[in-house]
Amino acid sequence: MMFSIYPIPAFSDNYIWCLADTSTGKALVVDPGQAQPVMDYLKQAGLTLDTILVTHHHPDHVGGIAKLQENHPSVRIVGPEGSPFTNVTETVSHGDQIEWQAVRFSIMATPGHTLDHIVYFTDTLINDAPALFSGDTLFIGGCGRLFEGTPEQMHRSLSSLLALPDNTAIYCAHEYTLANLRFARHWLPEDAALIEFEQQCNELRQAGKPTVPSSLEKEKALNLFLRWDDPSVIKAAEAYGSEHGLSVTTATEVFAAVRHGKDHF
């Protein structure tokens, strides 16, 4: 089978990912917060929507589903069990697997941003790499703000993602990369790899191109929210914690300090 993947821009900085089986014209979309951009792209590309994947209940991820369902009454809607968003045809939880066009997705629970958050991973090669639809759990250079979960939960969720193959492509739901890198450079101003990556991402955005996807290998090396064992990040977190009255003695507390720092940057 031949697959293509395309980021459908929505709102000011959302990406609705469209995975298409070009041999059949069938399409799957992830987190359609708006319906019109999806319908416009499907029409332009000559695709038929048959599946929607939902990572969590926030309106900018599910707001377009009702209208898409009106236009595609038989659409399959997969979402997390126990979620406040209930307009689904199929609920899934951690450890479940689903199939779409011979692509098998593994479901991983990643509470933190919200309590119902899940991500979808497939080791089917799409653009020559496994794929992770990470929603608002893992961003390029960042992670989701903790609206419902705790630092402990998010640290555990992100830790679980580190076990995925290094070449996994990270298809997150927002173009937050430059903002995340500005914060990272503030904490680690001498980090040469961050300086180079920020320049690359600036060039992409100036050319009107997305910075997404990245690879898990690159995120492990660059993303402060995954570098709780990195001496330079630990040192910066300890300095920040001392200034703000935060204990920074464990990996979770290093992560919590980074998250607190980004929240107040």
Active site residues: 56, 58, 60-61, 113, 136, 174
Strand order in the sheet with 214-215: 97-100, 103-109, 118-126, 129-135, 169-172, 214-215
Question: Binding site annotation covers 60?
Answer: yes
Question: Binding site annotation covers 264?
Answer: no
Give the CA diameter of the chain. Answer: 58
**Dist. CA 42–CA 44, nearest whole Å:** 5
Question: Binding site annotation covers 116?
Answer: no
Is 35 in contact with 49 (CB distance < 8 Å)?
Answer: no
Task: Tell me if residue 60 falls in helix, strand or coil.
Answer: helix
Question: Binding site annotation covers 229?
Answer: no
Question: Binding site annotation covers 186?
Answer: no
Residue-level length of the chain: 265
Question: Binding site annotation covers 174?
Answer: yes
Give the pair of three-digit tokens for residue 124. Answer: 């089917």
Question: Binding site annotation covers 136?
Answer: yes
Give every CB contact of residue 243 below 8 A, 6+ residues apart in sequence: none
Q: Which residues are annotated as a binding site for Zn(2+)?
A: 56, 58, 60-61, 113, 136, 174
Q: Which residues are annotated as a binding site?
A: 56, 58, 60-61, 113, 136, 174
